Structure 1
Amino acid sequence: MRIDDEPDALPGRRDECVRLDDLLAQASSGRSAVLVLRGETGVGKTALLDYAVRRAAGFTLARATGVESEFELAYAVVQQLCAPFLDRAAGLPEPQREALGAALGSRGGEPPDRFLVGLAVLGLLAEVAETGPVLCVVDDAQWVDTASAQTLAFVARRLAAERVALVLAVRDADDTAAAESDPARDVYDGLPTLPLHGLADADAEALLDSVTAGPLDDRVRARIVAEARGNPLALLELPRDLDAAELAFGSGPRDRAALPGRIERGFARRLDGLPADTRWLLLIAAADPSGDVALLWRAAGRAGIPADASGPAEEAGLLELGAQARFRHPLMRSAVFRAATDAERRAAHRALAEAIVGEADADYRAWHRAGAAASLDEEVAAELEASAARARARGGWAAACSFLTRSMELTPDPERRARRALDAADARLQAGAPDAARAMLALATGGPLDDRVRARAQLLGARLAFASTRGREAPALLLSAAKRFEPLDPATARDTYLDAFTAALFAGRLADGGAALDDVAAAISAARLGDAEAQGAACALLLDGFAAVVRDGYAAGVPLLRRALDALRADPLGDEDALRWLWPASRAARAVGDDVSWSELTARHVDLARRTGALAMLPIALTERFTVELFLGDLSAALAVAAEADAVAAVTGRGLSPHIAFLRAAWGGREAEARALLDASRADVASRGEGLWLAGTELTTAVFLNAFGRYEEAIAVAERAEAHPYELGLSTWVHPELVEAAARLDRPDRGADALARLTEIAEASGTDWALGVLARCRALLAADDEAEGLYRESVERLERTRIRVALARTRLVYGEWLRRQGRRVDAREQLRAAHAFFREVGMEGFAERARRELAATGETARARSVDTVNDLTEQEALIARLAADGRSNPEIGAQLFLSPRTVEWHLGKVFTKLGVTTRRELRATAAGPRGRGLGVL
């Protein structure tokens, strides 16, 4: 049957109806589908949503609507969508269940991470879809609260095999009213979109004739069709502006105002003929964004409005009182509200506030009391402040901004007003609105503040700078804030000194003035940051170690850092402190050559960020862990980390870390790709002042150049990096690159300073990793009668570590030295081991060096094999690895932001490609030679 013959089909919307039918069919067949309907006001988005609902026989329906209002109750639309299914939340993993409960206000605790909430909603929908397909429709999605909009976008991007159809209706961005009302419009960008345009003239005329009872003058018909531009709502509403004579004879004024405004004024004119009680009831309904019918009637009762007042509005098609109070169109709501006087609007809010009972709706009551306030009112301001605290506990930072801003506006006391403005600025920063935060901060600092609050303001300004630039001026600002907190709050001062040091580390050579690390180190040394509590003492010791390294050199600072690392491993930090301190501690471990601490602390950091859903910190933790896995020589694990970083990037909207992408390209010997990544990132990094990124790329580039025997270039890059010796964890390991390049060019003088600096670090550290690499560097520059003993020492020490890359590089240069000594048999033993390792981990440059050296000894090295494992995508390889490690589908889904059903779908493809049928066979494949990579660089 043709779609035009279907009784549900919409005139003039054949293609759009077919698209929706296809979407429903896809969800029914087992694959999820998402569609965003975009178009101007009145173009028919709601009608198409209704069409989809009518066609969704056999589907479970979840429906929600955004409401235009300044009030933004966090997760209000998520509540609408999930309420019918919350009895199934018990089956969600605990972190997701707790996050969803916190978001919906059913439990207390820390603010939930928005991605954990998104994953919980995804899991809930997937659970419902186990018994049949699900259709979720959200109308006026441009007016959905920010927290819910972010959740909807997350779910839309992660749907795959759940049998869920999600359809959102969004007003076009060029609609001024919508643009001003939509704080998170871009969250829907990139989703499958169906733009809606006006009806063709023939369809427009047919629709117009269908709603016109009497004769219609041809000139009037042509005028209405032309002015409506095919907009169905305009075709239905514009004739209402004309009386019978105008319709018949074509007379009357010609209003050239914008179409949405004309429609809204038309709605407003329709109010004139309604009884006063009906208009008053409509105003109360317009003032309440919740659509709660029971609340509406309680408020109406308090205002003395009779029960039959709704009749005329319902008969006129302006208001529908069903499960919710719904206006015929959002413009009807705004028309009612704008047609009222200020006094009338305040009275409507007052009636609603008085009608709200119970603490569950305290936030709605506070907002309506604020709407009813005619002047400054501390009691209402305090209620709004309490509502902001509850919004923060639900992760609703945007809602907290609204509450705090209105609270500040109603506060009569100047000092309290300034403090609330500061709280609002902080909330705006947390909500991801730094420009608005700066404006509110300026308002706060213009008022009277005590020392502690002014210190908070200074710290917030510094963090705003760091959030926007990652470097440059942020270190000095954070340093100043830390000093200010010393006499007021030592714990906050210590944390802020760490922020200052981290900012200076990020800025590196690009910091304003170029001496950020020196200034921070001097301030830390002068401060008294010790803490009787053991964990605080370990953190203070770590800071002291950083300061000593910068001020007095590695010999002075490394022992302090080693003690701090030992303390942090022996007595782990609480979650909040660990999220702040584990990254710099990991950098310190790499800098001093403590491979045990480096591996343990980075693993702990990743696990903590995953467990707590700290998505802002997880990419940083994953980047450091990726480097660990490469140094350990576990390509499979490194690829798994990179794939997880990709998954995080997909849900956060941030691209894969340029360091990870660059390191992968350089590691695999893909110079063109590596250089393209460098060029693409350099300008952005320089503008933000991230000198640390430059240091990382210089180290990686020096390694790459040494791998391919381009020693002159390697020396130049390494010397550039060496000029900045305190870029922790990077400068330490650039010294061996400079030494190797200098030795190969027979220029020991150019490697002497690097060897001296490495000696200072390694001897202070005393670890086998540091001393093993030092022995290799000494061997490279030593006379032949001393070299072999040093090479053997290097091998012996590095065999006691987990840093397999360093061991393989020692075997390579040792083998090269043995071949030059004419000891081919001995050389082959070292070169075979080096070649096998480099081939296994995809270090193509070093593998080729080892292969050439083996060939020079008379032995032919085997080429790298390719097998079916390489057919897996990176996501499939990661899922296969996690499944082989014993993770369940829900556990894998939680880590990769997928539903268990989608994980199962991917595993089905993995089984097919690998020719296995069970997880036991998958584990056997992963453990064997074919499974070592479970993916390729």
Structure 2
Amino acid sequence: MSPAGGSGAVVGRDSELEVVRSALADVAAGRGGVVLVEGEPGIGKSALLRGGLADAADLGCQVGWTAADELSPRFPLRLLLDCLDSERARADRDPAGVPAALIGHRPRSAATGGDPLAAAVDRALTIVAKRCTDSPVVLVADDLQWADETSLLAWHRLARTADQVPLLLVGAYRPVPHRAELDALRADAVARGALIRLRPLPAGAVAAVVAVLAGAPAGAGLRSLAEQAAGNPLYLRELVDALKREGAVTVEDGQAELVDGWTRRAPASLTAAIAGRLGFLSHNATTALRVGTLLGPEFSVEDVATVLQLPPSALNGVFSEATAAGVVTAGDRLSFRHPLIRHALYGEMPAAVRSALHRHAAQTLAAAGASVERVAAQLLPAGPAVDGWVTGWLVRAAPELSDRAPAAAADLLERASGQVAVGAATWAELTGALARVRFRLGCDAEAPARRVLTHTDDPVLAAEMRWIIAERLLRAGRYRDALRVAEQGQEQPEVPVVWRARLAAMSARILSTTADDLDAADETAQVSLASARACDDRVAIGYSLLSLSTIALMRRDQAARLSHLDDGLELLADDLEQLELRLLLLGNRTLALSILDRFGEAEQTLAAARDLVDRRTGYAGLARFHAPAAVLHFWTGRWDEALAELDAARDLPDNPRVAPIAAGIVSLIACHRDDRATASARLAKYRDEPSAPAFDVANRGFLIGARAALAERDGQPAQALRAWREVLQPRYAQMERHILMPAVVRAALAVADLDTAREAAELCERDPGRVTPGRAAAVAHCRGLLTGDLDLLASAGCYLRTAGRVVEYAGNCEDVAVLLAQRGERAAAKSALAPAMEVYARLGAQWDLRRAAARVRAFGVRWGARGPRRRPASGWAALSPTEVTIARLVAQGRSNPDIAAELLLSPRTVQSHVSNILGKLKAQSRVEIARAVLIHG
């Protein structure tokens, strides 16, 4: 508790102060961290932070400090952006606003563009990362219980990087009201031992505070009255100040005591004590301060003057009075000394008066050119009534407000659309805007969209609403319903040709991933493409080509798939409006090239996508590339990179169509590295959906391989074969299962099941689709295993080595070695096994090393200690080549975003790599990584 309210000694919090000061010392030394302070109102959270962080600037730290309020949850990134640059933020923009430079491009309709707020979060985090390379950064956020969800998400992501950079995150919050979004931050602080729970001050500390406030040690009567504050520092201060204002305290013989005959009781609550302080203000000061309460925890004299329609000079005296009374503190902007003081002033106004003042403030601020967020901040608490000015402003401001504060826009649009008469001039516009913003938020956009369909006669608006409904149904897995809506939209007689083409493209998208009849899906997509080209709509053309590429995938025609994707990318090459679609096409192109074993081109495609993202400054669409990159890295034997990509996607929303790929790769690598716990845990979290469309079934290859590998690792070869047999079912014919067939044949031969081995080999050869070089090699591998033909095995191995399929090549070498060992050619077997063991050692595949040695040992071949050694689990030698490169860039003082841009990785992936480097080097900061680089060159 700081008795002066802004400075002074903090009494009774020595151990808590030490935690904060220790964290500050650590960040000044280059080691980041997190501190979270929990406590009731007035318990001293803010004072503790002021005292503990008082030396931050002197230690060379950049400090950003802000506080949330009740309206903050409606305004995304408000808290984080204020915290990033407390002073410049206030000078350059409205306090509630999100800078246009961070929001970026705004899409024209629900059918185009992505989420600009997700991009803004990435850009804000990039700002933090780059500032950390200049000097240590301390970000302080008070009243986190009111923080907006977007800022809390960003705060949580920053907390995950705090161990990697000189960044100290300090937050304070009240446990009531409970915010579920704070649970993750609290759990992280508990795990770090960095959660401070502020309890009531002990009796000794209470006595010390009263002595400071009263000017002398307290006598028995004053101490007894002070006990009613229950150890709450703010209540204690308000109580003593009230007694002094009333002349109820006298100091005699070095002791402060209640005056004789003073019989009034202490205020019944902290709120009552604060109300007593406010009672000493003049009428003019109270009026001005009440307007200030409307504007938030901080405000300017100019803001209040605008609302009161007075010159700012007319208010100088009243705010001087308020400052002298201890109600507000002066600075670049005015702020209430404590949130409870603001709440008391605000609560004194009758509800009708508050609503009228908010409504008046909204209109005056709008007329003065304030941002849409600031106007919305006044309309939100103004009450349910909506008049003509409000609806007119909402119609004009809805597109911008929906991008910059979608939750606030949704609330205001819902309120307005519910009060405007259906059929009125603005009703359809308001309800359509409500559907768009709810669609953006991932909420129930279907209901308002259907209401618009029922009452509008605007064919463009109706078509857009059908698109929203179909997209929502598609994402919910209601494929038939989505298709019905899209088809009904195309049948409407007055639908514009552009929207008819877009709805046709929607139908093609749905059928391409759900239809059993690929010919019918192909016909729909071709018709969609023709109509899209006829009206020259890039959205419809792009999605039609994407659908055709998906159909080619299901037909196992990767060349045709690639052709459609390339056509789409050529069409959209200079179209920033369709950035989301371009990234979707690039992600699919990466996978197509990987399946064709054109890994170099796949790497180039990933690089092009990430370069595009980098030029867009942190565009959040990069998240879709973690899975394609992981697949590419797995097949080419860069398992640490694959895991880093999937770890980077850990806090992203689950994509049900990517989940089996991610679970399978993580489980496979864990099993090969003899980490059974991780492998089984990941497999247990994923459950197959028996009725899943063929498109989803085709993504299960890694998952099936992981289940089989885990069974084999556990010494259950029959169970392993049972797992592999799933891939032989007809519904997997549309999967590129030739990649898996050598492993199926190998598992069948291990239990002498020749029928299954032959079936797998025949399916590898006879499956529909073009025979690519990779598939031909797989056929040779299967036939070589079945017949014991070394030439066939060698031919397959030559292709796998040349193509860069590192993992399959190692398995082929192992198969050759076993066959030679069976023939008694021990020296040749050992020579053939060497490349496999080299690969396994480099991959850290301990189980493979053990298994391969056991397979040849059965035929008298001993793999001695002179073979390749396992990569150690810690130390410099444990780093992968990519991690070595990143460590060297860290040593140069480069930030994660800068490293990501140079290596064409995502910042999240670099973050994951840096975390792994710290763990392997047992380092606590980037400084220690740099020291290791210097030692090891």
TM-score range, shorter chain: 0.7 to 0.9
Shift of 1:418: 5.7
- Give 3-state SS (helix, strand or coil) of 1:865's partner: coil
The structure-2 alpha-carbon separation of the partners of 1:526 and 1:829, relative to structure 1 and needing over 3 Å to count, comes to: same
- Give 3-state SS (helix, strand or coil) of 1:765's partner: coil
What corresponds to 1:577 in structure 2?
Answer: 581
What corresponds to 2:271 in structure 1?
Answer: 264
Do 1:819 and 1:827's aligned partners in 2 also have CA atoms closer than 8 Å?
Answer: yes
What corresponds to 1:170 in structure 2?
Answer: 173
What corresponds to 2:726 in structure 1?
Answer: 720
What corresponds to 1:632 in structure 2?
Answer: 636
Q: Distance in 2 between matches of 1:104 and 1:128?
A: 21
In terms of mean alpha carbon deviation, does 229-238 or 362-371 score higher?
362-371
Do 1:146 and 1:184's aligned partners in 2 also have CA atoms closer than 8 Å?
Answer: no
Q: Distance in 1 between matches of 2:301 and 2:67?
A: 15
The structure-2 alpha-carbon separation of the partners of 1:376 and 1:568, relative to structure 1 and needing over 3 Å to count, comes to: closer
Please give the root-mean-square deviation of Cα atoms over the aligned residues, in Å. 5.1
Q: Distance in 2 between matches of 1:858 and 1:34?
A: 55
The structure-2 alpha-carbon separation of the partners of 1:691 and 1:56, relative to structure 1 and needing over 3 Å to count, comes to: same
Opposite residue 162 of structure 2, the aligned amino acid is L
In terms of mean alpha carbon deviation, does 40-49 or 526-535 score higher?
526-535
Do 1:466 and 1:474's aligned partners in 2 also have CA atoms closer than 8 Å?
Answer: yes
Do 2:398 and 2:433's aligned partners in 1 also have CA atoms closer than 8 Å?
Answer: no
- Give 3-state SS (helix, strand or coil) of 1:725's partner: helix
What are the residue-to-residue correspondences of 1:313-392 with 2, within 5 Å?
A: 313-349=322-358, 350-351=360-361, 353-354=363-364, 359=369, 361-365=371-375, 367-368=377-378, 375-391=385-401
Do 1:591 and 1:732's aligned partners in 2 also have CA atoms closer than 8 Å?
Answer: no
Shift of 1:724: 6.2
Q: Deviations over 1:328-372 (max 9, x none)?
A: 321222222232234422443315642566545354246546766
Opposite residue 899 of structure 2, the aligned amino acid is I
Q: Does residue 1:143 correspond to 2:134, yes or no?
A: no
Shift of 1:80: 3.4
Shift of 1:171: 2.0
The structure-2 alpha-carbon separation of the partners of 1:438 and 1:285, relative to structure 1 and needing over 3 Å to count, comes to: farther
What corresponds to 2:753 in structure 1?
Answer: 747
Do 1:463 and 1:474's aligned partners in 2 also have CA atoms closer than 8 Å?
Answer: no
What corresponds to 2:291 in structure 1?
Answer: 284
In terms of mean alpha carbon deviation, does 477-486 or 766-775 score higher?
477-486
What corresponds to 2:236 in structure 1?
Answer: 235
Partner residue of 1:296 out of 304, 310, 316: 304
The structure-2 alpha-carbon separation of the partners of 1:609 and 1:142, relative to structure 1 and needing over 3 Å to count, comes to: same
What corresponds to 1:190 in structure 2?
Answer: 188
Q: Deviations over 1:851-889 (max 9, x none)?
A: 345553656454432567852498887442346699982
In terms of mean alpha carbon deviation, does 159-168 or 293-302 score higher?
159-168
Q: Distance in 1 between matches of 2:489 and 2:589?
A: 23
Shift of 1:13: 1.8
Q: Distance in 2 between matches of 1:913 and 1:358?
A: 57
Do 1:521 and 1:548's aligned partners in 2 also have CA atoms closer than 8 Å?
Answer: no
- Give 3-state SS (helix, strand or coil) of 1:37's partner: strand
The structure-2 alpha-carbon separation of the partners of 1:888 and 1:42, relative to structure 1 and needing over 3 Å to count, comes to: closer
User: What percent identity do the matched residue pairs reach?
Assistant: 20
Q: Does residue 1:543 correspond to 2:544, yes or no?
A: no
The structure-2 alpha-carbon separation of the partners of 1:682 and 1:572, relative to structure 1 and needing over 3 Å to count, comes to: same
Q: Distance in 2 between matches of 1:640 and 1:43?
A: 47
Partner residue of 1:518 out of 513, 516, 519: 516
The structure-2 alpha-carbon separation of the partners of 1:233 and 1:439, relative to structure 1 and needing over 3 Å to count, comes to: farther
Q: Deviations over 1:695-735 (max 9, x none)?
A: 53212333565688854223211122333634865645344
The structure-2 alpha-carbon separation of the partners of 1:158 and 1:365, relative to structure 1 and needing over 3 Å to count, comes to: same
What corresponds to 1:889 in structure 2?
Answer: 894
What are the residue-to-residue correspondences of 1:805-816 with 2, within 5 Å?
A: 805-816=807-818
Q: Distance in 2 between matches of 1:458 and 1:829?
A: 65
Do 2:12 and 2:202's aligned partners in 1 also have CA atoms closer than 8 Å?
Answer: yes
What corresponds to 1:801 in structure 2?
Answer: 803
Q: Deviations over 1:525-547 (max 9, x none)?
A: 44522143799767635524644
Aligned length: 860
Shift of 1:781: 3.3
Do 2:64 and 2:85's aligned partners in 1 also have CA atoms closer than 8 Å?
Answer: no
Do 2:24 and 2:168's aligned partners in 1 also have CA atoms closer than 8 Å?
Answer: yes
The structure-2 alpha-carbon separation of the partners of 1:378 and 1:186, relative to structure 1 and needing over 3 Å to count, comes to: farther
What corresponds to 2:671 in structure 1?
Answer: 666
Do 1:385 and 1:407's aligned partners in 2 also have CA atoms closer than 8 Å?
Answer: no
What corresponds to 2:853 in structure 1?
Answer: 851
Q: Distance in 2 between matches of 1:221 and 1:519?
A: 85
The structure-2 alpha-carbon separation of the partners of 1:448 and 1:559, relative to structure 1 and needing over 3 Å to count, comes to: same
- Give 3-state SS (helix, strand or coil) of 1:198's partner: coil
Shift of 1:675: 1.9
Q: Does residue 1:778 correspond to 2:809, yes or no?
A: no
Q: Distance in 2 between matches of 1:651 and 1:642?
A: 15
The structure-2 alpha-carbon separation of the partners of 1:789 and 1:49, relative to structure 1 and needing over 3 Å to count, comes to: closer
What corresponds to 2:254 in structure 1?
Answer: none
What are the residue-to-residue correspondences of 1:864-875 with 2, within 5 Å?
A: 864-866=868-870, 870-872=874-876
Q: Deviations over 1:709-767 (max 9, x none)?
A: 85422321112233363486564534443333334444332244433432234x73232
Q: Distance in 1 between matches of 2:632 and 2:828?
A: 31
Shift of 1:161: 6.9
Partner residue of 2:765 out of 743, 759, 765: 759
What are the residue-to-residue correspondences of 1:686-705 with 2, within 5 Å?
A: 696-703=702-709
Instruction: Structure 2: state its 5+ residue gaps.
Output: 1-6, 92-96, 108-112, 249-257, 919-923
What are the residue-to-residue correspondences of 1:275-674 with 2, within 5 Å?
A: 275-289=282-296, 291-302=299-310, 308-349=317-358, 350-351=360-361, 353-354=363-364, 359=369, 361-365=371-375, 367-368=377-378, 375-391=385-401, 393-394=403-404, 396-402=405-411, 404-405=413-414, 408=417, 411-412=420-421, 414=423, 416-417=426-427, 420-421=430-431, 423-424=433-434, 426-428=436-438, 430-431=440-441, 434=443, 453=461, 460=468, 473-484=477-488, 486=490, 489=499, 492-493=502-503, 496=506, 500=510, 516-518=514-516, 522=520, 525-527=523-525, 528-530=527-529, 531-532=532-533, 540-541=544-545, 543-544=547-548, 546-547=550-551, 554=556, 560-561=560-561, 563-564=563-564, 567=567, 575-587=579-591, 601=605, 604=608, 618=622, 620-633=624-637, 635=638, 638-647=639-648, 649=650, 657-674=662-679
What corresponds to 1:508 in structure 2?
Answer: none
Opposite residue 674 of structure 1, the aligned amino acid is A
What corresponds to 2:683 in structure 1?
Answer: 678
- Give 3-state SS (helix, strand or coil) of 1:757's partner: helix
What corresponds to 2:253 in structure 1?
Answer: none
- Give 3-state SS (helix, strand or coil) of 2:170's partner: strand
Q: TM-score, normalised by structure 1?
A: 0.76
The structure-2 alpha-carbon separation of the partners of 1:102 and 1:779, relative to structure 1 and needing over 3 Å to count, comes to: same
Q: Distance in 1 between matches of 2:861 and 2:771?
A: 39
Q: TM-score, normalised by structure 2?
A: 0.76
Do 1:38 and 1:171's aligned partners in 2 also have CA atoms closer than 8 Å?
Answer: yes
Do 1:199 and 1:230's aligned partners in 2 also have CA atoms closer than 8 Å?
Answer: yes
Opposite residue 380 of structure 1, the aligned amino acid is V
Q: Distance in 1 between matches of 2:185 and 2:503?
A: 36
